[in-house]
Amino acid sequence: MKFGPTLALLAVLVLLSAPGSAGAGCPNLTSTATGVHGGNIYDLHVVGEYAYALGEGFSVIDVSDPQNIHRVGHFAIDGFNMAVDGLTVYIINSEGLSILDISQPEDPRQLSSLPYPDLRSVAVCDRLVVVSEPYVGLHIIDVSDLLAPTVVGHFPEYIDPSDGGFAIYGPYVLFADHSDFSVISLEDPTSPQLVGSYTGYFWWISEIEHSGRFAYLADRSGSSIQGAGGLQVFDLSDPTAPQLVAYYHPHPAGGGMASISVSGRLAILGGTGGGGWIDETHILDITDPTDPVAITILQGTPVGVQLVGTRAYLWSGDSISILGVGDCYHPTIFADGFDSGDVSAWSASEP
Protein backbone atom coordinates (compact mmCIF):
# COMPACT_ATOMS: atom_id res chain seq x y z
CA MET A 1 0.00 0.00 0.00
CA LYS A 2 1.44 3.31 -1.02
CA PHE A 3 -0.13 6.67 -0.55
CA GLY A 4 0.49 10.08 0.95
CA PRO A 5 2.48 13.21 0.20
CA THR A 6 5.83 13.31 -1.51
CA LEU A 7 8.54 12.20 0.90
CA ALA A 8 11.67 12.77 -1.17
CA LEU A 9 12.80 13.49 -4.71
CA LEU A 10 14.09 10.37 -6.37
CA ALA A 11 16.68 12.40 -8.22
CA VAL A 12 18.63 12.84 -4.99
CA LEU A 13 18.97 9.13 -4.20
CA VAL A 14 22.62 8.71 -3.24
CA LEU A 15 24.49 5.44 -2.91
CA LEU A 16 25.84 4.98 0.62
CA SER A 17 27.52 1.58 0.39
CA ALA A 18 31.17 1.41 -0.57
CA PRO A 19 31.88 1.08 -4.31
CA GLY A 20 32.47 -2.52 -5.28
CA SER A 21 31.04 -4.00 -2.11
CA ALA A 22 27.88 -5.19 -3.86
CA GLY A 23 28.80 -5.54 -7.50
CA ALA A 24 30.33 -2.95 -9.76
CA GLY A 25 27.00 -1.53 -10.86
CA CYS A 26 24.67 -2.04 -7.92
CA PRO A 27 22.44 -0.31 -8.51
CA ASN A 28 22.84 1.95 -11.49
CA LEU A 29 20.46 4.82 -12.13
CA THR A 30 19.08 4.03 -15.57
CA SER A 31 16.74 7.00 -15.89
CA THR A 32 14.46 9.44 -14.08
CA ALA A 33 11.33 10.92 -15.63
CA THR A 34 9.55 13.87 -14.02
CA GLY A 35 6.13 15.19 -15.01
CA VAL A 36 5.21 12.11 -17.01
CA HIS A 37 2.05 11.47 -14.95
CA GLY A 38 0.93 15.05 -14.51
CA GLY A 39 0.39 14.96 -10.74
CA ASN A 40 1.45 13.21 -7.55
CA ILE A 41 1.79 9.43 -7.82
CA TYR A 42 0.57 7.46 -4.81
CA ASP A 43 0.66 3.95 -6.27
CA LEU A 44 2.31 2.37 -9.30
CA HIS A 45 2.32 -1.10 -10.84
CA VAL A 46 4.60 -2.22 -13.65
CA VAL A 47 3.33 -5.01 -15.88
CA GLY A 48 5.26 -5.80 -19.04
CA GLU A 49 6.11 -2.64 -20.94
CA TYR A 50 3.64 -0.44 -19.08
CA ALA A 51 3.58 1.28 -15.70
CA TYR A 52 0.15 2.09 -14.32
CA ALA A 53 0.31 5.21 -12.15
CA LEU A 54 -2.41 6.30 -9.74
CA GLY A 55 -2.72 9.46 -7.68
CA GLU A 56 -3.93 12.70 -9.11
CA GLY A 57 -5.43 10.86 -12.07
CA PHE A 58 -4.67 7.46 -13.60
CA SER A 59 -2.02 7.09 -16.30
CA VAL A 60 -0.68 4.36 -18.54
CA ILE A 61 3.05 4.98 -19.01
CA ASP A 62 5.30 3.24 -21.52
CA VAL A 63 8.51 2.16 -19.75
CA SER A 64 9.76 -0.26 -22.40
CA ASP A 65 12.61 2.16 -23.19
CA PRO A 66 13.98 3.61 -19.93
CA GLN A 67 15.45 6.52 -21.89
CA ASN A 68 12.05 7.43 -23.33
CA ILE A 69 9.47 7.06 -20.55
CA HIS A 70 6.24 8.61 -21.76
CA ARG A 71 2.52 8.58 -21.05
CA VAL A 72 0.31 6.89 -23.62
CA GLY A 73 -3.06 6.97 -21.87
CA HIS A 74 -4.93 8.76 -19.09
CA PHE A 75 -8.22 8.56 -17.22
CA ALA A 76 -9.56 11.28 -14.97
CA ILE A 77 -9.93 9.47 -11.64
CA ASP A 78 -8.05 10.17 -8.43
CA GLY A 79 -7.05 7.37 -6.06
CA PHE A 80 -4.48 6.15 -3.58
CA ASN A 81 -4.32 2.36 -3.97
CA MET A 82 -4.93 -0.10 -6.80
CA ALA A 83 -4.56 -3.70 -7.90
CA VAL A 84 -3.87 -4.84 -11.45
CA ASP A 85 -5.12 -8.16 -12.80
CA GLY A 86 -4.53 -8.80 -16.47
CA LEU A 87 -6.26 -6.05 -18.41
CA THR A 88 -8.28 -4.79 -15.45
CA VAL A 89 -7.40 -2.26 -12.76
CA TYR A 90 -9.19 -1.98 -9.42
CA ILE A 91 -8.89 1.49 -7.90
CA ILE A 92 -9.62 2.65 -4.37
CA ASN A 93 -10.46 6.29 -3.69
CA SER A 94 -12.64 8.36 -1.36
CA GLU A 95 -15.78 7.23 -3.18
CA GLY A 96 -15.16 3.50 -3.15
CA LEU A 97 -14.03 0.89 -5.68
CA SER A 98 -13.76 1.64 -9.40
CA ILE A 99 -12.99 -0.93 -12.10
CA LEU A 100 -11.13 0.13 -15.25
CA ASP A 101 -10.54 -1.67 -18.53
CA ILE A 102 -6.95 -1.15 -19.77
CA SER A 103 -7.11 -3.44 -22.81
CA GLN A 104 -6.49 -0.34 -24.91
CA PRO A 105 -3.59 1.45 -23.16
CA GLU A 106 -4.27 4.69 -25.04
CA ASP A 107 -7.87 4.80 -23.86
CA PRO A 108 -8.54 3.38 -20.36
CA ARG A 109 -12.26 3.30 -19.58
CA GLN A 110 -14.33 2.71 -16.49
CA LEU A 111 -16.47 -0.42 -16.43
CA SER A 112 -18.22 -0.05 -13.08
CA SER A 113 -17.96 1.20 -9.52
CA LEU A 114 -19.05 0.19 -6.05
CA PRO A 115 -19.75 2.96 -3.51
CA TYR A 116 -17.76 2.55 -0.28
CA PRO A 117 -16.69 5.93 1.12
CA ASP A 118 -13.97 4.79 3.51
CA LEU A 119 -11.99 1.98 1.87
CA ARG A 120 -8.25 1.87 2.45
CA SER A 121 -6.59 -0.77 0.25
CA VAL A 122 -7.31 -3.47 -2.32
CA ALA A 123 -5.99 -6.83 -3.55
CA VAL A 124 -7.25 -9.16 -6.27
CA CYS A 125 -7.01 -12.83 -7.22
CA ASP A 126 -9.05 -14.35 -10.05
CA ARG A 127 -12.69 -13.41 -9.56
CA LEU A 128 -12.31 -12.12 -6.00
CA VAL A 129 -11.35 -8.64 -4.85
CA VAL A 130 -10.60 -7.93 -1.19
CA VAL A 131 -10.84 -4.39 0.20
CA SER A 132 -10.20 -3.10 3.71
CA GLU A 133 -12.34 -0.63 5.62
CA PRO A 134 -10.96 1.00 8.79
CA TYR A 135 -12.60 -0.16 12.04
CA VAL A 136 -14.89 -2.52 10.07
CA GLY A 137 -12.78 -5.23 8.45
CA LEU A 138 -12.28 -6.89 5.08
CA HIS A 139 -14.97 -7.03 2.39
CA ILE A 140 -14.94 -9.80 -0.23
CA ILE A 141 -16.24 -8.76 -3.64
CA ASP A 142 -17.13 -11.09 -6.52
CA VAL A 143 -16.04 -9.55 -9.83
CA SER A 144 -17.00 -12.43 -12.11
CA ASP A 145 -19.13 -9.81 -13.85
CA LEU A 146 -16.92 -6.74 -14.12
CA LEU A 147 -19.96 -4.64 -14.89
CA ALA A 148 -21.68 -5.62 -11.65
CA PRO A 149 -19.27 -6.19 -8.70
CA THR A 150 -21.06 -7.76 -5.76
CA VAL A 151 -20.10 -7.92 -2.09
CA VAL A 152 -20.39 -11.58 -1.06
CA GLY A 153 -18.53 -11.81 2.25
CA HIS A 154 -17.11 -9.92 5.21
CA PHE A 155 -14.44 -10.62 7.78
CA PRO A 156 -14.82 -8.42 10.88
CA GLU A 157 -11.52 -6.97 12.02
CA TYR A 158 -10.45 -3.81 13.78
CA ILE A 159 -8.30 -2.05 11.17
CA ASP A 160 -6.49 1.09 12.16
CA PRO A 161 -6.66 3.68 9.35
CA SER A 162 -2.86 3.76 9.28
CA ASP A 163 -2.60 0.01 8.65
CA GLY A 164 -2.42 -1.18 5.06
CA GLY A 165 -0.90 -4.59 5.40
CA PHE A 166 -2.74 -7.35 3.61
CA ALA A 167 -2.21 -9.50 0.53
CA ILE A 168 -3.84 -12.47 -1.21
CA TYR A 169 -1.86 -15.70 -1.04
CA GLY A 170 -3.59 -18.47 -2.97
CA PRO A 171 -6.91 -19.14 -1.21
CA TYR A 172 -5.84 -17.01 1.77
CA VAL A 173 -5.67 -13.38 2.83
CA LEU A 174 -2.55 -12.43 4.78
CA PHE A 175 -3.37 -9.60 7.17
CA ALA A 176 -1.42 -7.83 9.92
CA ASP A 177 -2.45 -5.29 12.52
CA HIS A 178 -0.72 -3.83 15.57
CA SER A 179 -0.21 -7.18 17.28
CA ASP A 180 -1.18 -10.12 15.07
CA PHE A 181 -0.31 -11.64 11.71
CA SER A 182 -3.39 -13.50 10.50
CA VAL A 183 -4.14 -16.01 7.75
CA ILE A 184 -7.77 -15.89 6.60
CA SER A 185 -9.25 -18.57 4.35
CA LEU A 186 -11.29 -17.55 1.31
CA GLU A 187 -12.27 -21.10 0.35
CA ASP A 188 -15.82 -20.01 1.05
CA PRO A 189 -15.82 -16.32 0.05
CA THR A 190 -19.21 -15.82 1.65
CA SER A 191 -17.80 -16.81 5.03
CA PRO A 192 -14.07 -16.00 5.42
CA GLN A 193 -12.48 -17.87 8.33
CA LEU A 194 -9.39 -17.25 10.45
CA VAL A 195 -7.25 -20.39 10.07
CA GLY A 196 -3.86 -19.30 11.41
CA SER A 197 -2.21 -16.49 13.34
CA TYR A 198 0.98 -15.32 15.00
CA THR A 199 1.04 -12.84 17.86
CA GLY A 200 4.06 -10.58 18.01
CA TYR A 201 5.25 -7.02 17.75
CA PHE A 202 3.67 -5.62 14.59
CA TRP A 203 3.31 -1.94 15.23
CA TRP A 204 2.51 -0.45 11.88
CA ILE A 205 2.45 -2.89 8.96
CA SER A 206 2.15 -0.87 5.77
CA GLU A 207 2.69 -3.55 3.14
CA ILE A 208 2.91 -7.33 2.71
CA GLU A 209 4.57 -9.20 -0.17
CA HIS A 210 4.96 -12.95 -0.68
CA SER A 211 7.31 -15.10 -2.72
CA GLY A 212 7.25 -18.87 -2.68
CA ARG A 213 6.25 -19.99 0.77
CA PHE A 214 7.49 -16.82 2.50
CA ALA A 215 5.68 -13.61 3.42
CA TYR A 216 7.57 -10.33 3.84
CA LEU A 217 6.07 -7.62 6.06
CA ALA A 218 7.22 -3.98 5.96
CA ASP A 219 6.78 -2.31 9.35
CA ARG A 220 7.00 1.48 9.29
CA SER A 221 7.14 1.88 13.07
CA GLY A 222 10.31 3.16 14.66
CA SER A 223 10.42 0.41 17.27
CA SER A 224 13.75 -1.19 18.17
CA ILE A 225 12.07 -4.21 19.82
CA GLN A 226 13.30 -7.50 18.39
CA GLY A 227 10.90 -8.56 15.65
CA ALA A 228 9.33 -5.11 15.24
CA GLY A 229 10.15 -2.28 12.88
CA GLY A 230 11.81 -2.78 9.50
CA LEU A 231 11.10 -6.20 8.00
CA GLN A 232 9.66 -9.47 9.27
CA VAL A 233 9.75 -12.72 7.28
CA PHE A 234 7.24 -15.54 7.83
CA ASP A 235 7.33 -19.15 6.66
CA LEU A 236 3.89 -20.16 5.35
CA SER A 237 4.64 -23.84 4.73
CA ASP A 238 1.71 -24.48 7.02
CA PRO A 239 -0.70 -21.55 6.59
CA THR A 240 -2.50 -22.57 9.78
CA ALA A 241 0.71 -22.00 11.77
CA PRO A 242 2.77 -19.14 10.28
CA GLN A 243 6.28 -18.97 11.72
CA LEU A 244 8.43 -15.87 12.12
CA VAL A 245 11.81 -16.93 10.71
CA ALA A 246 13.69 -13.65 10.26
CA TYR A 247 13.62 -9.95 10.91
CA TYR A 248 15.71 -7.09 9.62
CA HIS A 249 16.26 -3.81 11.45
CA PRO A 250 17.47 -0.93 9.26
CA HIS A 251 19.41 0.40 12.27
CA PRO A 252 20.00 -0.95 15.79
CA ALA A 253 18.29 2.08 17.33
CA GLY A 254 15.11 1.23 15.43
CA GLY A 255 13.47 2.64 12.35
CA GLY A 256 10.71 1.62 10.03
CA MET A 257 10.31 0.75 6.37
CA ALA A 258 7.11 1.80 4.61
CA SER A 259 7.22 -0.13 1.34
CA ILE A 260 8.57 -3.42 0.06
CA SER A 261 8.91 -5.35 -3.17
CA VAL A 262 10.35 -8.84 -3.64
CA SER A 263 11.58 -10.51 -6.81
CA GLY A 264 13.78 -13.58 -7.00
CA ARG A 265 16.75 -13.23 -4.64
CA LEU A 266 16.28 -9.50 -4.03
CA ALA A 267 14.05 -7.35 -1.85
CA ILE A 268 13.90 -3.57 -1.82
CA LEU A 269 12.64 -1.61 1.18
CA GLY A 270 11.65 2.04 1.11
CA GLY A 271 12.00 4.01 4.34
CA THR A 272 9.57 6.35 6.06
CA GLY A 273 11.17 9.73 5.30
CA GLY A 274 12.65 12.39 7.56
CA GLY A 275 11.59 13.69 10.95
CA GLY A 276 13.54 11.10 12.89
CA TRP A 277 12.46 8.19 10.68
CA ILE A 278 14.50 6.23 8.15
CA ASP A 279 15.26 8.37 5.10
CA GLU A 280 16.83 5.49 3.20
CA THR A 281 16.11 2.77 0.67
CA HIS A 282 17.62 -0.67 1.32
CA ILE A 283 18.33 -3.43 -1.20
CA LEU A 284 18.56 -6.84 0.45
CA ASP A 285 19.77 -10.28 -0.59
CA ILE A 286 17.06 -12.80 0.35
CA THR A 287 18.62 -15.86 -1.28
CA ASP A 288 18.13 -17.34 2.18
CA PRO A 289 14.83 -15.81 3.34
CA THR A 290 15.70 -16.72 6.92
CA ASP A 291 18.76 -14.45 6.76
CA PRO A 292 18.05 -11.24 4.81
CA VAL A 293 21.26 -9.27 4.33
CA ALA A 294 21.74 -5.69 3.18
CA ILE A 295 23.54 -5.24 -0.13
CA THR A 296 23.20 -1.53 -0.75
CA ILE A 297 21.71 1.48 1.03
CA LEU A 298 20.48 4.54 -0.83
CA GLN A 299 19.93 7.90 0.81
CA GLY A 300 16.40 9.06 0.05
CA THR A 301 12.88 7.75 0.48
CA PRO A 302 10.43 7.06 -2.34
CA VAL A 303 6.67 6.79 -1.83
CA GLY A 304 6.80 3.29 -3.26
CA VAL A 305 9.06 0.64 -4.82
CA GLN A 306 8.65 -2.28 -7.20
CA LEU A 307 11.13 -4.88 -8.42
CA VAL A 308 10.54 -6.29 -11.91
CA GLY A 309 13.25 -8.56 -13.27
CA THR A 310 16.54 -6.65 -13.30
CA ARG A 311 14.89 -3.27 -12.74
CA ALA A 312 13.71 -1.45 -9.65
CA TYR A 313 11.06 1.23 -10.07
CA LEU A 314 10.85 3.97 -7.44
CA TRP A 315 8.38 6.84 -7.44
CA SER A 316 7.77 10.02 -5.51
CA GLY A 317 5.81 13.14 -6.37
CA ASP A 318 5.54 13.12 -10.15
CA SER A 319 8.88 11.38 -10.68
CA ILE A 320 9.63 7.81 -11.66
CA SER A 321 13.17 6.44 -11.43
CA ILE A 322 14.42 3.17 -12.86
CA LEU A 323 17.41 1.47 -11.25
CA GLY A 324 19.32 -1.41 -12.77
CA VAL A 325 19.74 -4.11 -10.11
CA GLY A 326 21.03 -6.97 -12.26
CA ASP A 327 24.50 -6.63 -10.75
CA CYS A 328 23.29 -6.53 -7.16
CA TYR A 329 24.57 -9.45 -5.16
CA HIS A 330 25.90 -10.01 -1.69
CA PRO A 331 29.62 -10.75 -1.53
CA THR A 332 30.72 -13.76 0.49
CA ILE A 333 31.54 -11.49 3.40
CA PHE A 334 31.31 -7.76 3.99
CA ALA A 335 34.50 -5.75 3.92
CA ASP A 336 34.10 -5.00 7.61
CA GLY A 337 33.84 -8.68 8.49
CA PHE A 338 30.11 -9.18 8.94
CA ASP A 339 28.25 -11.85 6.98
CA SER A 340 24.99 -11.94 8.92
CA GLY A 341 22.00 -9.63 9.14
CA ASP A 342 23.44 -7.98 12.24
CA VAL A 343 23.82 -4.28 11.49
CA SER A 344 24.85 -3.24 14.99
CA ALA A 345 28.38 -2.47 13.88
CA TRP A 346 27.57 -0.74 10.62
CA SER A 347 29.37 2.45 9.83
CA ALA A 348 27.41 5.43 8.61
CA SER A 349 28.10 4.59 5.00
CA GLU A 350 28.89 0.90 4.63
CA PRO A 351 27.31 -2.35 5.77
- Residue of 123, 59, 75 lying closest to 97 (CA atoms): 123
pLDDT of residue 266: 94
Whether 139 has a pLDDT exceeding 90, the answer reads: yes
Whether 172 has a pLDDT exceeding 50, the answer reads: yes
Whether 35 has a pLDDT exceeding 50, the answer reads: yes
C-beta separation of 8 from 280 below 8 A:
no
- 335 or 301, which is more confident? 301
All structural domains of the chain with their residue ranges: 10-324
DSSP state of 12: G
Among residues of the chain, what percentage have pLDDT more than 70? 79
Q: Rounded distance, CA 126 to CA 128, Å?
A: 6
Whether 271 has a pLDDT exceeding 70, the answer reads: yes
C-beta separation of 203 from 229 below 8 A:
yes
Query: Does residue 27 have a cis peptide bond before it, meaning omega lies within 30 degrees of 0?
Result: yes
Q: For the chain, what percentages of helix, strand and coil (3-state, to nearest 5) are there?
A: 0, 50, 50
User: pLDDT digit string (tens) for 306-333?
Assistant: 999 889 999 988 899 999 988 887 653 2
Among residues of the chain, what percentage have pLDDT more than 90? 52
Q: pTM to 2 decimals?
A: 0.86
- 350 or 309, which is more confident? 309
The total of other beta-carbon atoms located within 10 Å of residue 323's CB is 27
DSSP state of 10: G
pLDDT of residue 3: 39
Q: Rounded distance, CA 343 to CA 272, Å?
A: 19
Whether 350 has a pLDDT exceeding 60, the answer reads: no
User: pLDDT digit string (tens) for 272-318?
Assistant: 754 446 678 889 999 999 999 999 888 877 888 999 988 999 998 88
* CATH number for the segment(s) 10-324: 2.130.10.10
User: pLDDT digit string (tens) for 36-70?
Assistant: 998 999 999 999 999 999 999 999 999 999 999 99
